[in-house]
Amino acid sequence: MHNAVAKNNGRSLNAGCPHLKRSKRKRMSRPDKIFTIVNYSFLILMLGVFIYPLVFVFSASITKPSEVLYGKMWLIPTSLYFDGYVAIFKYKDIWTGYLNSVIIVVLGTLLSLAVTFMAGYALSRKDFYAKKFLMWIFTFTMFFGGGLIPTYLLISESLNMYDSVVSLIIPSAVSVWNIILIRTYFISSLPQDLLEAAKIDGCDNIRFFIMVAIPLAVPIIAVITLYNVVGRWNSYFDALIFLSDPAKYPLQLVIRNLLTQNQINSLDPNVGILELESMMKVEGMKYGVIIVSTLPMLVIYPFVQKYFIKGIMVGSLKG
Amino acid sequence: MKKRIMAIVLCVITALLVIACGDKKNTGPEHSNPQVLTEAGVYPIIKDDYKGQIRLKIMGANNAAIDPDWGDNKFFKRMETLTGVGFNFDVFGDDMYTEKKGLTLSTNKNLPDIFFKANFNNYDEVTYGGKTIRPLNGLIDGYAPNIKKILDENPLIKKCITTTDGNIYSLPTVYLNLPDNTENVMRDFLWINQSWLTQLNLKMPQTTGEFLAVLRAFKAKCTANNAYPLAIAGLDHLLRIFNFFGLDMYQYWVQGKDGGGIEFGPTTDKFRTALEFLRTLQKEGLINPNWSSFTAAEMSANGGSGDNVYGCFMTAAPQYVVGFTRMTQYVTIDPLTCPGVNDKSFWSAQLPVQRGCFSITATCKYPEVAIRWIDSLYDLGGEYCLWAVIGKQGEEWKWNANGTWESTVPSSEYSAVMKKTIIQPGDGMPFAVDEEFWGKQSTPEDLFTRPERNKQMTHGWVGYPMVYFNKDDLKKMSDLAADIGSYITDFIAKSMSTEGHIGGKWDDFKKFNRLRLDEYIGILQKSYNDFYS
C-alpha cells in the first residue's frame, strides 16, 4: 500500500507537469550530461580567454607600473595607482589625437557610406549595362595593389595630399568588399517588382534609390557604418605614411609612437637616468592608454552588435 | 529627404576640399652659397645681411618622452641665436621615422635639407649616397674645420665613416679623450654585489670556475622569488658572457685572429665550452629564466622593488638597476678568463664612433651653411656640443671651484626641464662627446661609477671593426647574416633550455655550410682586410 501510494504519488507528479519530467530526463541522460559539462567548461574557458586580457589591462592600468613589470600583479590590482591616468589626461597629444580621430572617423565614414552605397546599388541593377565590366575593375583592385612606394608617390605628388587629413579619408573611401556586400544585399532583398511599381507611379532612378532602396537597407547601413567606424578608429598606417605634422595625428598613431619608442636596453652612461625615467613613465601610462583608446569602441559595440551579426550573415549566406 | 542627403554629401566634399587646399609651403629667397657665410670660426655663421633669411628643414627621430617638441626646444633655439640659421622640423618617433626615411629617400619626395639624428645604416648610405644624399668630403675640407681636425687626428674614425666608394655620406657621434687613450667604447659592464661577497666570505672571482662557485653561493641569498644570482637583460648581455671564453660575439660572430685573418666563433670549441657554462647557469637557476625578453625597464622595476634581488647584472651604471641607495653595494668585475680555454681578459667593445647621425640631401640649397652649422657641435673647445646634452653653462650647469661641474637644475625638476632643453643624446646624436668633460662630473653617483667604468674600459677589445659593405656584398650579406644569426641564436636558446647532453646536437649544429658560411666569411674577411690595410 505504502508502496503503491508512493508509486502513485510519483506518477501523479509526473502527470502534473509532463514537460518538466521529459526535459529533466533528457538533460540528465548520460551523454547529454557529459556534453553539457564539456560544453559549459569549454565556454567558461573561452570566456576566461577573452575576458582575461581585458581585466588584466584594466587592473594593470591602476597598479603601480613596477609591480606590473615584474609580474607581481596578474589579475587583481595589488596596489592603487592613478598617476598613469593623471599623466594621460595631461598628455596633450592624446587629446588632439582623439579629436583628429573623431573627425577622420565621422567624415571618412560619411563619405565611404555615400560612395559605396551608390556604387553597390548601381551594380545591383540588372538593367545597368557596364555592370560586369565595372565589377571586374573593382574586383581587380582586390587582387592587385600598387604597393607602398607608388601609393606614396600618388598621394604626395599626383594628388598633392601629403600631410593633409584628406589623405586618410578620400583614398580609403571605397571599399570593394563593402560594395560587394551592399550589392548582394540589394540583389537579394530589393524585389525587382518594387522598382517596376515605382516606375509606373512615375518615380525616377535617383528618387527610387533615396526614397525606396535606402530606407529598406537600414540593417546593411548599420553594418557598413560599424565596419567603417571600427576600421578607421583602429587604423594608423595611412597616417604614419601620409602625415608629418604631429598636430594632425590620429589617436592610434600618437599611442603607437608613445609605446614603440621606449625599447632602449642599453642605457647611456651619461643620460641613462633620463631614458629610464621616460621608460618608466611610459610603462605607467601604457595600460591606461589602451583603456582610454578602446573605450569608445567598447561603448558602441553592445548597441550595434545585433546588426554586426546580421552583417556577417549577409556575407556568409548570400555572398 | 533627397535634398537633405545631397546636402550632407556636398558638405562632406566641400569640407574635404577646404582641408586639402590648406597646405602650401613657402621657401625663402635663394642665395649663392659661400657668399652668405662669415669667416671660419666666427659666430653667427651667416652674414648680417642674410640674417633670418636662411631656414633649413630638418628631418629626424625624437623620443616623445625625452625631447617631444624640437621646435620648442632650447637647444635648437640657442643654435638659431648662435648661428643665425633657422629651422623647420619634420620629426617623428623612432619607428615612424624609419618608414618616413625610407620613403622620402627612395621616392625623392618631401626630402628635408638635412637629416639630424638620421639613423642611417650601411644600406641607406650605399644606396642613396651620391643620389639623394650628398657626399660630404669636399664640404668638410672647405667649411668644417672642427670635423676636419677630428678626422685628421683620428684616422680610425675617418675609416669608420668612409664608405666603399671613398666618400663620407654621414657624420657620426664620436667619443674623444677616452680614459687611458683607449680607442674603443662600451656601455654595459658586469657588476657584482660586493656586500654579498663579504657576507659569504668569498673573494672576487677571476675565472669562470670561481664565478660559477660565487653564483652558486649567491643562490642561498636569493630568497625572494624575483631574486637571481645573475640577471641578464636580453641577448646582448648574454653574448658578453662569451667574452670569458675568448669570443667576441658583438658583430657578425667573427673576430680578428693574432697574425691576421678572422675567426668564426660558433664552430670553435670555445663556443661549446661557453654554451655548456650557460646551460649550467640555466639548469641550476643561476640566471633569470626569462633572460631573452627581460628589458632594462623590468630589470630596474625588479631591482628597485625593495628586496636585495641581484647578485650580478650588466648595465652602464648600477643606479639604473638598483637605485641610488643600493648602488654602492656593487662593484665591477674584470672580464673573467677560463683556464685552458681562454687566458685573455677582455670585453667586446666598439670603435669610438656611432655612424649615420647627420646627412645633407642633394636638394639642400645651402649645403655649406648646413655643414658649417653642424661643425659647431664637433668643437671640443666650444661649449656648443654640450648644449644638446646638458644645456648651457650658467643656466643648466656650472663649473665648481675644484674643476668639477654640476647640474644646477634641481633633481625633482630635472626631467621636466631637460625635456625642453636637450635632445636625447643616447642614440645617434651628431656631435663630439668629450669623455674628459664627463669625467669631471661631480654627482655622488658619477664619482662612484666613473672610476669603475674607466677601469673596465681599458679591457675593451674590438674583435671586428666597423666596416662598410659595398652594394653587392651588402645584398648577399643581408640574407646570409640574417640566416646565420638566427640559426646561432636559436641554437643558443634551445640548447640552454633542453635537458641532456649537447654532444650530438653540437655536431649537427656545426654543419654551417648549407647556410653558405664560406661566402659569408669571405665577404667579412675581405672587408676586414680592406679596413686594416
Q: Is A12 on the interface with B (CB under 8 A)?
A: no
By C-alpha distance, the chain A residue nearest B314 is A266
Q: Do A269 and B96 touch (CB under 8 A)?
A: no
Distance from CA of A64 to the nearest CA of B (A): 10
Q: Report DSSP letters for A195-213, one per residue.
A: HHHHHHTT--HHHHIIIII
Q: Which residue has the higher pLDDT, A68 or A3?
A: A68
Using a 10 angstrom Cβ sphere, with 0-12 exposed, 13-18 middle and 19 or more buried, the burial of residue B378 is buried
Do residues B90 and B121 lie in contact, with contact meaning Cβ atoms separated by under 8 Å? no
**DSSP-assigned beta bridge partners for residue B338:** B342
User: How far is Cα B533 from Cα B528, in angstroms, rounded to an integer?
Assistant: 8
Q: Do B20 and A166 touch (CB under 8 A)?
A: yes
Of B466, B237, B419, B474, the residue nearest A274 (C-alpha): B419
User: How far is Cα B93 from Cα B109, in angstroms, rounded to an integer?
Assistant: 20
Q: What is the pLDDT of residue B266?
A: 92
- Please, what is the average pLDDT of chain A? 83
pLDDT in tens, B95-128: 889 999 999 999 988 899 999 999 999 999 999 9
Q: Do B453 and A269 touch (CB under 8 A)?
A: yes
Pairing of strands B347-348, B330-332: unpaired
CATH topology of domain B189-348: D-Maltodextrin-Binding Protein; domain 2 (3.40.190)
Do residues B265 and B248 lie in contact, with contact meaning Cβ atoms separated by under 8 Å? yes
φ and ψ of B262, to 5 deg = -125, 160
Q: What residues in B contact A256, CB-CB < 8 Å?
A: 93, 95-96
Q: Is A163 on the interface with B (CB under 8 A)?
A: yes
| pLDDT over threshold 80, residue A141 | yes
Residue B401: count other Cβ atoms within 10 Å of its Cβ. 5
Three-state secondary structure call for residue B407: strand
Q: What is the pLDDT of residue B296?
A: 84
Range with the largest mean pLDDT of B9-18, B61-70, B384-393? B384-393
User: How far is Cα A267 from Cα B303, in angstroms, rounded to an integer?
Assistant: 15
Q: What residues in B contact A84, CB-CB < 8 Å?
A: none
Q: Do A149 and B1 touch (CB under 8 A)?
A: no
Mean pLDDT of the A294-298 span: 87
| pLDDT over threshold 90, residue B211 | yes
**Cα dihedral value B426, B428, B429, B433, nearest 10:** 70
Q: Do A265 and B103 touch (CB under 8 A)?
A: no
Q: Report DSSP letters for A22-87, one per residue.
A: HHHHHHHSHHHHHHHHHHHHHHHHHHHHHHHHHHHHHHHHTS-HHHHHTT--SSS-SS---HHHHH
Mean pLDDT of the B42-50 span: 86
A194 φψ region: left (φ > 0), alpha (ψ -120 to 50), beta (else): alpha
User: How far is Cα B109 from Cα A155, in angstroms, rounded to an integer?
Assistant: 11
Of A114, A257, A263, Cβ closest to residue B96: A257
Range with the largest mean pLDDT of A80-89, B278-287, B494-503, B511-520? B278-287
Q: What residues in B contact A206, CB-CB < 8 Å?
A: 2
Residue B183: pLDDT band (50, 70, 90) is confident
Q: Is A157 on the interface with B (CB under 8 A)?
A: yes
Q: Do B95 and A257 touch (CB under 8 A)?
A: yes
Mutate to test the interface with A, among B4, B23, B25, B100 (most CBs of A within 10 A): B23
By C-alpha distance, the chain A residue nearest B105 is A149
Of B92, B94, B226, Cβ closest to residue A70: B226
> Cell numbers at residue B230, please?
645573475
Do residues B470 and B126 lie in contact, with contact meaning Cβ atoms separated by under 8 Å? yes
Q: What is the pLDDT of residue B29?
A: 40
Name the class of domain B33-175+351-433.
alpha beta
Three-state secondary structure call for residue A287: helix
Q: For chain B, positions 103-132, list CB contacts with chain A under 8 A.
A: 103, 106-107, 109-110
Pairing of strands B432-434, B171-176: parallel
Q: What residues in B contact A111, CB-CB < 8 Å?
A: 12-13, 16
User: How far is Cα B191 from Cα B181, in angstroms, rounded to an integer?
Assistant: 23
Q: Do B226 and A153 touch (CB under 8 A)?
A: no
Q: Do A69 and B302 touch (CB under 8 A)?
A: yes
Q: What is the pLDDT of residue B21?
A: 47
Three-state secondary structure call for residue B60: strand
Mean pLDDT of the B183-194 span: 90
Q: Is B71 on the interface with A (CB under 8 A)?
A: no
φ and ψ of B406, to 5 deg = -150, 160
Q: Do A114 and B414 touch (CB under 8 A)?
A: no
Using a 10 angstrom Cβ sphere, with 0-12 exposed, 13-18 middle and 19 or more buried, the burial of residue A286 is buried
Q: Do B415 and A278 touch (CB under 8 A)?
A: yes
Q: Do A111 and B107 touch (CB under 8 A)?
A: no
Q: What residues in B contact A162, CB-CB < 8 Å?
A: 23, 109-110
H helices of chain A, in order, are 2-16, 18-28, 30-61, 65-69, 83-90, 92-124, 131-143, 148-153, 166-169, 176-189, 192-200, 205-208, 214-216, 218-234, 237-242, 251-260, 272-318
> Cell numbers at residue B125, please?
648610405
Q: Is the dihedral of CA B43, B46, B47, B53 positive or negative?
A: negative
Which CA distances in Å does B109 have to A158, B100, B105, B130?
Answer: 11, 10, 8, 16
Q: What is the pLDDT of residue B1?
A: 53
Of A166, A211, A274, Cβ closest to residue B66: A274
By C-alpha distance, the chain B residue nearest A245 is B90
Query: Terminus-to-terminus CA distance in chain B, angstroms?
Result: 82
Q: Which residue reads 667604468 in cell numbers?
A: B453
Mean pLDDT of the A274-301 span: 85
What's the pTM value of the predicted model, to 2 decimals? 0.83
Mutate to test the interface with B, among A113, A172, A267 (most CBs of B within 10 A): A267
| pLDDT over threshold 70, residue B85 | yes
- What is the share, in percent, of chain B residues with pLDDT greater than 70? 94
Q: Do A114 and B9 touch (CB under 8 A)?
A: yes
ipTM of the complex, rounded to two decimals:
0.80
Three-state secondary structure call for residue B108: coil
Q: Do A256 and B95 touch (CB under 8 A)?
A: yes
Mean pLDDT of the B214-242 span: 91
| pLDDT over threshold 70, residue B71 | yes
Q: Is B395 on the interface with A (CB under 8 A)?
A: no
| pLDDT over threshold 90, residue B214 | yes
**DSSP-assigned beta bridge partners for residue B406:** B398
Q: What residues in B contact A282, CB-CB < 8 Å?
A: 65
Do residues B171 and B376 lie in contact, with contact meaning Cβ atoms separated by under 8 Å? no
Q: What residues in B contact A166, CB-CB < 8 Å?
A: 16, 19-20
Residue A113: pLDDT band (50, 70, 90) is very high
Q: Which residue reads 557596364 in cell numbers?
A: A130
Domain borders along chain B are 33-175+351-433, 189-348
| pLDDT over threshold 80, residue B27 | no
Q: What residues in B contact A249, CB-CB < 8 Å?
A: none
Q: What is the pLDDT of residue B258?
A: 82
| pLDDT over threshold 60, residue B197 | yes
By C-alpha distance, the chain A residue nearest B232 is A265
User: How far is Cα B125 from Cα B113, in angstroms, rounded to an integer?
Assistant: 16
pLDDT in tens, B495-504: 888 777 777 7
pLDDT in tens, A217-270: 888 888 889 889 989 999 999 999 999 988 999 999 998 888 876 666 677 777
Q: Is B226 on the interface with A (CB under 8 A)?
A: yes
Distance from CA of A126 to the nearest CA of B (A): 23
Do residues B147 and B397 lie in contact, with contact meaning Cβ atoms separated by under 8 Å? no
Q: Is B64 on the interface with A (CB under 8 A)?
A: yes
User: What contacts A252, CB < 8 A, 6 or more positions away?
Assistant: A97, A101, A233, A234, A235, A236, A239, A293
Distance from CA of A66 to the nearest CA of B (A): 5
Q: Is A111 on the interface with B (CB under 8 A)?
A: yes
Does the fold of domain B189-348 match that of domain B33-175+351-433? yes
Q: What is the pLDDT of residue B325?
A: 86
> What's at A67, amino acid-wise?
E
Do residues B348 and B240 lie in contact, with contact meaning Cβ atoms separated by under 8 Å? yes
Q: What is the pLDDT of residue A6?
A: 42
Three-state secondary structure call for residue B87: strand
Helix (H) or strand (E) holding B192: strand B189-193
Q: What is the pLDDT of residue A304?
A: 76
- What is the share, in percent, of chain A residues with pLDDT greater than 90? 37
Which CA distances in Å does B42 have to A290, B140, B374, B375?
Answer: 51, 17, 14, 12
Delineate the domains of chain A, giving CATH numbers in brackets: 20-81 (no CATH), 85-318 (1.10.3720.10)
User: What contacts B268, CB < 8 A, 6 or more positions away?
Assistant: B247
User: In this predicted structure, which of A194-198, B66-70, B154-158 has the lowest mean pLDDT?
Assistant: B66-70
Using a 10 angstrom Cβ sphere, with 0-12 exposed, 13-18 middle and 19 or more buried, the burial of residue B373 is buried
User: What contacts B8, CB < 8 A, 6 or more positions away?
Assistant: A110, A114
Residue B510: pLDDT band (50, 70, 90) is confident
Q: Do A268 and B316 touch (CB under 8 A)?
A: yes
> What's at B7, amino acid-wise?
A
Q: Report DSSP letters for B292-322, one per residue.
A: TT--HHHHHHHHTSSS--EEEEEES-THHHH
Residue B387: count other Cβ atoms within 10 Å of its Cβ. 25
